[in-house]
Chain A
Amino acid sequence: MIGTLLQLFVSYLKIGFFGFGGGYAMLSLIHSEVVERNAWLTNGEFSDIVAISQMTPGPIALNSATYIGYEVAGVWGSIVATVAVCLPALTLMMLITRFFLKLHDNIYVKSVVAGMKPVVVGMIMSAALLLILPHSAEGRSFIDGWSWAIFVVVLIASARKVNPILLIVCSGLAGVLIYGI
């Protein structure tokens, strides 16, 4: 139990510390720790949590920490993972606020951000790839032609700035109509 909690703490500390580029880029990092390294979740369960995170308030990194923490080690697990994912942001931003208020036009900061940008975009692409072409058949996102139809419709709607929560809810309803009845 303590070992699992420690592993959760380390994994989410890593996710918090290397969580550059916002939610979707962090997905690749979360996937790497939670699905690939520790096998706490399958690909399909990971995808379900992303859907739930879209429908509930708060950043996806926090949502996934609380959820996966609970799945792996109960309420304590969710507390440990949530605290761990907050710690790097807390300490780094305090330091930045205290010492480097003028950091935003420092050439080193700008160059580091520029250097990480293609990687961040690559991380978003890899998150998409991992869900479109998973390594195992379990929990595939695409099971038939309907899946691809939903994918295309949501992609177009999202490019036209339709609210993502609405899109998730409508896709859920479509799922009920297609697979439920």
Chain B
Amino acid sequence: MSRLIEIFWSFLKIGAFTFGGGYAMIPLIQHEVVHNHKWLSDKEFGNLLTLAQAAPGPIALNTAVFVGYRERRYLGSLAAILGVVVPSFTIILIVAIFFSDIRQNHWVDAAFKGMRPAVVALIVAPIVGLTKGMHWWMVAIAAATALIIWHFGISPVWFLVAGALAGVLYAAVKTRRAGLL
């Protein structure tokens, strides 16, 4: 029982202090899981990151489930995931309850008019870094995907499925060739 509380508490801290999500969370998660509690080694943590990025869903959630399961099976997973969810759930619920009342306020509205273009800039910024290591034709596929989603409103799900299938096909051909040689 005490171990479950320890897991819950540890992921509660991760959930409460990681702003910005995703990659910004990794150092804090690593500090808690690897250095503080020694639940994983550095190498295991590296492998976990690869898996957490390959699997769908936020990295913090995936890491929580993985570490929780390793320590205390299903209950451990549940304790860890609750830990991540509780802070963000509580804070956002409070914001949601009060926000609709103050959204029309003159000053709040002015602040959000300033924040909206900033949000767009924060989304645009990582694109340059992401496309750097890619072939030009991969960038072209990315751009075409973006234009189709934007113009026709087609769900991105179909493109993800197509990308995954292309990957499976590539791997199948490659292993087949390796087998023939």
Contacts and interface: CB of A to CB of B under 8 A. Distances in A.
- Report whether chain A binds chain B: yes
Interface of A: 14, 16-24, 26-29, 32-33, 36-37, 44, 47-48, 50-63, 66-67, 70-71, 75, 78, 82, 85-86, 88-90, 92-94, 96-98, 103-104, 107-133, 135, 141-143, 146-148, 150-155, 158-159, 164-165, 167-168, 171-176, 178-180
Interface residues of B, number: 99
Given A60-B21, A97-B66, A125 B85 contact: no
18 contacts: A22-B58, A24-B22, A29-B155, A32-B157, A51-B115, A54-B19, A56-B19, A57-B15, A86-B57, A92-B57, A93-B57, A117-B163, A118-B163, A141-B116, A154-B121, A158-B125, A159-B125, A168-B122
B123 A124 contact: yes
Given A86-B57, A120-B160, A122-B146, 17 more contacts: A19-B56, A19-B57, A32-B155, A51-B116, A54-B119, A59-B25, A62-B85, A94-B77, A103-B51, A118-B141, A123-B159, A124-B126, A124-B127, A126-B149, A142-B116, A142-B120, A153-B121
Nearest to A180: B110
A59 B93 contact: no
A173 B118 CA distance: 12
A178 B69 contact: no
Interface in B159-173: 159-160, 162-168, 170-171
A36 B151 CA distance: 12
B91 to A, nearest CB: 5
Contact of B157 (A14, A54, A176): A14
B124 interface: yes
Given A62-B58, A164-B20, A141 B117 contact: yes
A122 B140 CA distance: 9
A33 B156 CA distance: 10
Contacts of A32: 149, 153, 155-157
Interface stretch (B1-9, B31-39, B95-103): B95-103
B79 interface: no
B55 interface: yes
Nearest to A51: B115
B181 interface: no
B110 A58 contact: no
A122 B171 contact: no
A121 B127 contact: yes
A29 B127 CA distance: 17
Contacts of A21: 53
A120 B162 CA distance: 12
